[in-house]
Structure 1
């Protein structure tokens, strides 16, 4: 089947003949089984010289692999460039591998397609399939194609795939409606010069250790002026409406035309240990608005908008983005341990409208803009007679902030900030049940034991930032 394997099989059979007939049958049988597990695109007439159109030949190889029982894997010889002009597709493929071995699918002279409808390689209704070590490249960018797309994928792996210059999404796991794909790993991949790097809307999707680079600042589009909706360079990694249990970890995202990591209304998201630099808009944007699921004509009231629910943003490094971490219509959010350096006219961390139960703790924020707060929490506002909701139940605590304006927040946000050696400032309402242990600004004194309801049994002494006592706050016990 494969020239190298056929040569190996011939050598094995020849050696067995010299040694005796008893050895021949097992060796030959093992080699045959190995060959029967693969289909080479060369066996179906593909050339791989970068000149001949190999679309029909590769599709024939894919069809042959899919027609086998069980399904066979597909082999691309290394180093070859296979020119294609329209979509390649597989449906119902299971328990097999598409092995690129460093080969390239080159989209050239692409047949016309509606925007982002066609894909260079599309797999649908697939299970336990791996796509690996394959490069997909668009050389003339005349049509709007995706690179690699999986739909209704279960227990699949996309590994070491590189997608360059396609005009829509580089790598996508996308279902309509969302959530049909389950348990997919995207790892070690690279997307460059695409409108969107990686997009998903399934369940249990892990996007780990990839590199998304748009190089927007060096494009002709950047030279023409501000970013536009029709941009060829949009978001880096997208976790779209309806996603559940998604992990985005250890990725590098650079110079995107809009956000580095952009997410919509979803559940259970972890964004951890990513490096995001030079994006034209947000570094990490959590946008839980219902508008992504509703038609504009539905006119959903503000109070009924959906939220992103259950989000952790931790250990990320964000530098030189226009706004670095932005939370909008998100519920139960933890933002902790991130390093943010903002050089532009925006904030490091913004907890925006419609967000609820948000904790911003232990981050390092360096804000070069002297006129904007490093950490910003949106208050309730009235705009043209309409009440615009703010963020509620927000705690901002123990962040290391280098900025002219540390934070801006409404009065009901809890702000606990160390302002100097052994100094702590606290703003907002602080509620505690049980014991409260504190040092460097809050002292505890005792008085007589309680003898009747309402008796003062202990006091909390509060100090100013300069260390001066502001007096004692009584704490009461009720006794029977």
Structure 2
């Protein structure tokens, strides 16, 4: 049985640039005082931007942003609706607060981009910002000659990214990213940021975040990998220009990923590292080349055949809830690695490829898989799979799982479950046998391996139907992990 494991190094990218120090001398620029009756806005046209799609407007847009920051109070910046502003390099601003950058449907078109070290430059970068809104702006790389990010916020507090559209940049579309996060895995600096109503298409990574209280809600991420020239050349490769849809990276705490549509990604739809207090809810993830949702508690990986990580290099994901998601036609749909306190409930998973629907993988403890609907079209792999401890030929012990409960799931599969003997399983579908390798199948019977989750008899939330109308069930037989009968328990609340 081949389990689903992570095949690449954790994504930790250096996306923040240096800032020149400014001395505390009288050479600082004089603030621009707002004139009486000023409406608090600066248009990029006021600083000479043409917006004709041909003129290089990079310096003119930078001048407008600098002027807005220098104003007292700081002004907001607007782009005229529908215009295309050609840019050739990075536009950046630091120390901006209580203002809006309003795109009004205008486009920043990266054309003839200046050379940059891979992923270091960003079309629009905001650092040390507070209570800033960026809305209704399109960022597009028209020729993809250089590796740029689209929009990046670093050290951001109480900010909103709304209705931003990023197309075809060769690294990350939208980022809220502090580099590096604290070395012990504690939260990064950015906090209280909302990313909503945005569209990211054709990028290497769609939306990437670390920080506290980051909400990624109601966005659309589409890499369209299957229709790319890269896909036509053959299987996905590690040098791909198309990776994960939504990344929640090391240092994140109290992150919500909800109500997004994610499709055709080069790797995972939602990929997370050693994060804390994560909710992944009500997303639709389809057609991804690797996982639908992957929780990867490892922060450091070793490139080895068995992917074994020394104890000193391990971190974990803590407090993960995956609920109400729809996952269709991904290569492996929900995969959990090195995570603690995980709840997977109420998801709909349809797997058409050679993998499992839900895998509780190595190093995971205290996981509950409850009330999911799993349709498994692969007859050779379990719909729900729990990894046992494994000893390699050289004696290395690969961690399995601990304290896993599987209950009340609706499974449509020829091969329902694979679970080691200490997994708690409450089940009422399948064919009545338990194989010696821990595969659990049951029709008309309720069976448990190792432990029975019981409360005064049969357990909680299970049902048993009588074989003929008008009859009642008086007792239920219980079996151990080897299929041996443990006797009968009475049923006092009969179901006819």
Same fold (TM over 0.5): yes
Larger radius of gyration: 1
The 5-angstrom pairing of residues 254-269 of structure 1 reads: 254-269=263-278
The CA RMSD over aligned residues, in Å, is 2.6
> Equivalent residue for 1:471?
487
In the alignment, the residues of structure 2 paired with residue 356 and residue 437 of structure 1 have an alpha-carbon distance, to the nearest angstrom, of 22
- More displaced 10-residue stretch of structure 1: 106-115 or 176-185: 176-185
The secondary structure found in structure 2 opposite 1:265 is: coil
Structure 2 CA distance for partners of 1:234 and 1:205, relative to 1, 3 Å: same
Alignment partner of 1:277 is 2:286: yes
Match of 2:256 among 234, 242, 247: 247
Tell me the matched-pair count. Answer: 424
Q: 1:236 aligns with which of 245, 267, 272?
A: 245
Q: Judge conservation of contact 2:457–2:489 (CA < 8 Å) in 1.
A: no
CA contact (8 A) 1:461 1:470 kept: no
Matched, 1:462 2:477: yes
5+ residue gaps in structure 2? 1-33, 182-187, 431-442, 466-474, 491-496
Higher helix proportion (structure 1 or 2)? 1
The one of 350, 356, 364 equivalent to 1:347 is: 356
Higher RCO (C-alpha under 8 Å, 6+ residues apart): 2
Corresponding residue of 2:146? 143
Shift in alpha-carbon separation, 1:155–1:295, aligned structure 2, 3 A: farther
Cα distance in structure 2, aligned partners of 1:412 and 1:98: 55
Assess if the C-alpha contact under 8 Å between 1:119 and 1:149 holds in 2. yes
SS at match of 2:429: strand
Runs of 4+ in 1 over 6 A off after TM superposition: 433-436
2:230 match = 221
Deviations 1:33-91 (A, max 9, x none): 66440011000000000000000100000000000111100010001000000000010
Distance 1:410 1:300, change over 3 A: closer
Following superposition, the deviation at residue 461 of structure 1 comes to 5.6
The yes-or-no answer on 1:89 pairing with 2:92 is yes
1:415 matched to 2:428? The reply is no
Match of 2:204 in 1: 195
- 2:54 aligns with 51
Residue 317 of structure 2 corresponds to 308
Task: Give the Å deviation of 1:415.
Answer: 1.1
Query: Cα offset for 1:225?
Result: 1.1
Distance of 2:379 and 2:333 partners within structure 1: 16
TM-score using structure 2 length: 0.81
2:133 to 130, 135, 151: 130
Q: State the Cα distance separating 1:301 from its structure 2 match.
A: 2.3
TM-score using structure 1 length: 0.84
1:128 match: secondary structure: strand
Structure 2: how far apart are the matches of 1:244 and 1:295?
A: 27
